[in-house]
Amino acid sequence: MKTQIKKQYISHYNSPFGGILLAADESGLTGLWFEGQKYFASGLGEEEEREIPVFKTVKYWLDLYFDGKEPDIAVPLHFIGTEFQKKVWGILCSIPYGETVTYGEIASRLVSEGKCSCMSARAVGGAVGRNKISILVPCHRVVGQNGNLTGYAGGMDRKAGLLELERGKIPDRGEMWHAAEEYSRGEK
């Protein structure tokens, strides 16, 4: 039986890190992508540009976040993916603001919680990389085994910038790029 995809709505948000496309259906937010990122707008089918209530909540959440504050607002999320991806994305949501975890730590957690009998960091990385709801489902908080920055669909400069923002520093574009270089060399 084929899954019926619900009609989705889209809206736009201008962030200090570039334009963002938001997508939602009546169940909740289904996507948040930086313009031009890898997998941009993946999974969108029939959509209509309309300001629905969830977008107002998400935009307020993003306003707080980009002001360097940890948002304490519940945003309804609607994960669209495989059961495995949904498990990984659920774990991403539990990573505390300003902290990072490794792909291996997520794999170990999946096993320890009985969600999988065995798991590789590579499989986790595949699911993390397919996260459609950037920032709110904080895939930018996942790092390599030595704490080094690894791939991010939105770009390494944005990943570094988001982590810096959560550590209390509001970076400009040049600082974002410099932070990405420091993380990739293991200096942060």
Residues 89 and 176 in one domain: yes
At 12, which amino acid appears?
H
Residues 59 and 89 in one domain: no
Residues 60 and 88 in one domain: no
pLDDT at 182 over 60: no
Residues 88 and 176 in one domain: yes
Tokens representing residue 19 in the block: 């334009």
Residues 58 and 113 in one domain: no
Averaged pLDDT of the chain: 86
Whether 158 maps to a domain, the answer reads: yes
Residues 102 and 61 in one domain: no
Residues 109 and 48 in one domain: no
Of the chain, the percentage scoring pLDDT greater than 70 comes to 84
Residues 54 and 114 in one domain: no
Residues 41 and 87 in one domain: no
Identify the CATH number of the domain in which residue 175 sits: 1.10.10.10
| Whether the Cβ atoms of residue 77 and residue 28 lie closer than 8 Å to each other | yes
Identify the CATH number of the domain in which residue 52 sits: 3.30.160
pLDDT at 1 over 60: no
Range 94-114 average pLDDT: 91
CA distance 97 to 141: 8
Whether 38 maps to a domain, the answer reads: yes
Whether 72 maps to a domain, the answer reads: no
Whether 117 maps to a domain, the answer reads: yes
Q: What pLDDT was estimated at residue 183?
A: 45
| Whether the Cβ atoms of residue 75 and residue 54 lie closer than 8 Å to each other | yes
Q: Return the axis-axis angle of helices 103-112 and 83-92, rounded to nearest 10°.
A: 110
**Which position among 93, 116, 118, 139 bears the catalytic label?**
139
Q: What pLDDT was estimated at residue 52?
A: 94
Q: What pLDDT was estimated at residue 180?
A: 46
Residues 168 and 92 in one domain: yes
Which residues span the domain enclosing 46? 8-66
Range 157-173 average pLDDT: 84
Range 96-118 average pLDDT: 86
> Tell me, what DSSP letter sits at residue 79?
-
| Whether the Cβ atoms of residue 167 and residue 76 lie closer than 8 Å to each other | no
Q: What pLDDT was estimated at residue 20?
A: 96
Whether 55 maps to a domain, the answer reads: yes
Whether 122 maps to a domain, the answer reads: yes
The predicted-structure confidence for 34-74, as pLDDT tens digits, reads as follows 998 887 777 787 788 899 999 999 999 999 999 999 999 99
What are the backbone angles phi and psi of residue 111, rounded to the nearest 5°? -70, -45
For residue 116, name the pLDDT band (cuts at 50, 70, 90). Answer: low
Residues 57 and 129 in one domain: no
Q: How many domains does the chain have?
A: 2
Residues 105 and 158 in one domain: yes
Clarify whether 116 is annotated catalytic.
Answer: no
pLDDT at 2 over 80: no
Residue spans of beta strands (DSSP E) within the chain: 8-15, 18-25, 28-34, 47-49, 101-102, 142-143
